[in-house]
Amino acid sequence: MELLISSYNYWIYIILMMIGLYAMLAKNNLIKKIIGMSIFQTAIIVFYVSISAKKDATIPIIEHGKGHGHSAVISAMDYANPLPHVLMLTAIVVSVGTLGVALALAQKIYDRYKTLEEDEILEQLQEQAVSDSVMTSSGCDNDK
Amino acid sequence: MLLNIVVITLTGLGLFFFLATTVGILRFPDFYTRMHAAGKGDTISSLLILLGLALYNLHHLSLSTALVSIKIMMILVFFFMASPTATHAIIDAGYESQIEPWHNDEEEQA
Amino acid sequence: MIWSFDLLILLFMVICAFFVIQVKDLLGAAIVFGVYSFLMCLLWTEMGAVDVAFTEAAVGAGVSTVLFIAAVHRSSRQVKPRKRWRRPNKAVGLIAAGLLGGVLFYASVDFPDWADPSSPASTHLSPYFITEALADTSVPNLVTAVLADYRSFDTLFETAVIFVAGMAVFMILGQKTKESAQVGIDLTGGYEDTIIRVVSRALVPFMQIFALYVVGHGHHSPGGGFQGGVLLGATFVLLAISFDLKMVLGRMSEKKNLLLANTGVLLYSGIGVLSLLLGANFLDYSILHTLLPSTGPVVARSHAILGVEIGVAITVMAIIILIYTNLSSGGTNEKGL
C-alpha cells in the first residue's frame, strides 16, 4: 500500500506516455499521430510538475507581508518547488507553437494528396515513383 | 453560524442540479433535449456553487477576502452571460446541420 | 495533496487518452482532447502548480482545441479504415510501446516517493529560489521571478522558439496567391447569428482587460506574459469565429501581426542589451536602476520583469493570431471557419 501511494502516479504517467507513443507509431491518420504526439508531450509535462509537489506545501506565491524586511523567515519546505513549473510553463506555450506547425504541414499534405491517411499517401508516392522511373527510362531510350 | 447554513444550502443545491444535469444528459433521447439539460443545469448549478464560495470566503471579513469575493462575483456574471450563449451556439449548429428532433412515435399512433 | 483525488483525475485522463486515439470522428477526438487538457489543468491546480494550470487552461483546453478544429475542418473529418497490407504496423506499435513501458516501469522503482520534500529535485537549487527571490527581486510570485529573472535566458529563447514556430506556419501556408487557392468552406453558410455576435462583442473588451491584468499582476498572482498573451490572442480567435476572418484581419492585419511579433522579441532582447550597455551582464536587470528614477537595484529588477513580460505577451498574442488565421483559411486569409 505504501509503495502504491508513493509511486502509482508515475505508473499512470508511463501508461499515458505509452498511449501517445502507440498512437504515433500505429495510427494511420496524420491528425491522430499529432494528437498522439501531444499526449506524449503532456505525459512528460505532468511528470515534471509532479516532481515539484511537496507534502504540506502550498502554491509558490509568498504571502503578503511575509518576508518583507526579513521580519519573518521563509522556509523552503512551505512552498512547492517553482523551478519545474517555470520549465513546463514555457514548454506548454512552445507546444502550441509546434502543434501549429504540425497541423500546417498536415494541411499542406492534404492539399497535395487529398488524404490524411498514411497508407494512401504512400501508395500515391509509390505510383508516382513508378511513373517517374518509367519516364526517365523512356527518356534514356530516346537518348540512345 | 447562519452564514454556514446559507453556504451549505447553496452548494448543496448546486450539487443537486449538477446531478440532475448528469441524469438528463444520460437519459434524454436526442441532441436537443440533452443540450437543454446540459445548458440549463450547468449554468444554474455553477452559479449556485460560486455564490456559495463567495459567501464562504467572507467568514473573516477583511479587505482582501472581500476583494476575492468580488472577483468570484465577477466570474459569476461573465459565466451567466457566456454559458447560455455557448449552449445556444451548439444547438444552433445542430439545427443548421439538420439534426432531426425526436418524436414520440407511440403517442402519434395512439 | 489528496492522493485519492489525484488518482480519480488520473484515471479519467487515461480513459480520455484512450478514447482520443480510438474514436473515428476527428472532430470528436479534438473535443475529447480538450477535456483531457482540462482534467490535466485540474490535476496541476491540485498539485500546487497554479501558473502551469492557468497556462494549460488557456492553451491546451482553449487554443489548441480550436487549432485542431480548424485543421480538421479544412481537411477530412472521418478516419478511414486501415487497409489490410499495413496491418503489421499495429503489432510493431504495441511491441515498441510495451517494451519501452516495461523498461520505464522497471526504472520507476528508483524514483523518489511522490511529494517527498527531500527529493533531489527540491533540495539543491530550488530552496535558494524560494527563500531569496523575494529579497532579490521583490516579486512574491516565485514562478514569475524565476521565469523572467533567474532563468531569463531560457525564457528569451523560448519566446524566440514561439516566434520561429509562427514564422514556420506563415512560410508553409502563407505563400499561396489568391488565384490558385481553392475557396475555403464556409461553415456559417452566410447565416449570421445575432445572439452570439452581440455577446461576444460585449465580452471581448472585458476579456482583453482581464488579459492585461494577468500580464500586469503576474508579480503577485498566477499569471504573466505567456498566459496574458494567450488570452489576448484567444479574444481575436473568438472574434474570428463569431464574426469572420475579414473583420479580425481588418483590426490586426498580417503585416501588423508580423511587426508585433518582432516587437515583442525585440523588447525582451532590448532590455538585455540595455543592461549590457550600462556595463552589467546580458539581462542583468539590477543595473537598470541608474536609468529609472528613485528605484533601487531590487525594484529595478521588478520593473524589468514587467517589461520582459510585456514583450513575451506581445509576441505570443501575435503568433497565436497568425497561426489561427493561416490554419483556418489555408493561408489565403479569405474565409475562415
Q: Are A38 and A107 in contact (CB under 8 A)?
A: no
Confidence (pLDDT) at B93: 80
- Please check whether residue C202 touches B, CB under 8 A: yes
Cα–Cα distance measured from residue C66 to residue C71, given in angstroms and rounded to the nearest whole number: 9
For C:169-198, CB contacts with B below 8 A are: 189, 191, 193, 195-196
Confidence (pLDDT) at C312: 94
Chain C residues closer than 8 Å to A112 by CB: none
Higher pLDDT, C296 or A35: A35
pTM: 0.87
CB pair distance less than 8 Å for B85 and C195: yes
Confidence (pLDDT) at C61: 84
Mean pLDDT of A81-90: 90
Chain B residues closer than 8 Å to C203 by CB: 78, 81-82
Chain C residues closer than 8 Å to B96 by CB: 189, 191
| pLDDT tens, N- to C-terminus, chain C (337 residues) | 677 888 899 999 999 999 998 888 888 899 999 999 999 999 999 888 899 999 999 988 889 999 998 888 877 777 776 665 556 678 888 898 999 999 998 888 888 887 778 888 888 888 888 888 888 888 888 899 999 889 899 999 999 999 999 999 988 887 654 444 444 444 444 456 788 888 888 899 999 999 999 999 888 888 888 999 999 999 998 888 887 777 888 888 888 999 999 999 999 999 999 999 988 888 888 888 888 877 788 888 888 999 999 999 999 999 999 998 888 876 555 444 4
CB pair distance less than 8 Å for C196 and B81: no
Selecting from C49, C90, C316 the residue whose C-beta is nearest the C-beta of A26 gives: C90
Confidence (pLDDT) at C313: 94
Cα-Cα-Cα-Cα torsion C62, C64, C65, C70, nearest 10 degrees, comes to 120
* The three three-digit cell numbers of residue B30, written as one number: 436526442
Mean pLDDT of A18-35: 90
Cα–Cα distance measured from residue C10 to residue C121, given in angstroms and rounded to the nearest whole number: 22
Cα–Cα distance measured from residue B35 to residue B21, given in angstroms and rounded to the nearest whole number: 10
- Cα distance from C71 to chain B (closest Cα, Å)? 18
Whole-number Cα distances in Å, C122 to A57, C101, C130, C134: 12, 26, 10, 18
Angle between helices C26-47 and C64-74 (to 10 degrees): 170
Q: Are C254 and C333 in contact (CB under 8 A)?
A: yes
Nearest C-alpha neighbor of C39 from the set C21, C18, C20, C60: C60
Q: Has residue A1 got a pLDDT over 90?
A: no
